[in-house]
């Protein structure tokens, strides 16, 4: 599943003519393109889908949505370790060193 997730802009820079930001999604930081929201600023929240900030969001709405996603396990599904998730889907148990 691919969610549109709210995140907080931590920093903004221009890379090769494209406005990019580091965005915090409840503890997971990802790089996001800001071309659809050119006036978004550090400290503001946005809804992000497939690496693009699509809509500005107020802090309270972002916090509530992130809490709900976390309760439902959707953040782990969206941002979890891909190797761990693939192993779980394949039915492979975690191998631990002695």
**Can you give the pTM of this predicted structure?**
0.71
Give the pLDDT score at 67: 84
pLDDT in tens, 5-63: 899 999 999 999 999 999 998 788 999 999 999 999 999 999 999 899 999 999 999 98
How many Cβ atoms are within 10 Å of 68's Cβ, its own excluded? 11
Confidence check: pLDDT of 81 > 70: no
- 1: pLDDT strictly greater than 90: no
Q: How large is the C-alpha radius of gyration of the chain?
A: 16
User: Rounded to an integer, what distance in angstroms lies between the CA atom of residue 29 and that of residue 9?
Assistant: 9
- Report CA 27 to chain centroid distance, whole Å: 9
């Amino acid at each position: 599943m691919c969610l549109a997730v709210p995140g907080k802009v931590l920093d903004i820079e221009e890379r090769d003519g494209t406005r990019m930001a580091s965005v915090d999604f409840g503890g997971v930081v990802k790089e996001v393109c800001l071309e659809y929201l050119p006036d978004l600023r550090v400290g503001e929240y946005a809804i992000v889908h497939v690496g693009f900030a699509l809509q500005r969001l107020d802090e309270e709405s972002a916090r509530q949505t992130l809490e709900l996603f976390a309760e439902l396990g959707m953040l782990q599904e969206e941002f979890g370790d891909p190797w761990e998730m693939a192993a779980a889907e394949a039915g492979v148990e975690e191998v631990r060193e002695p």
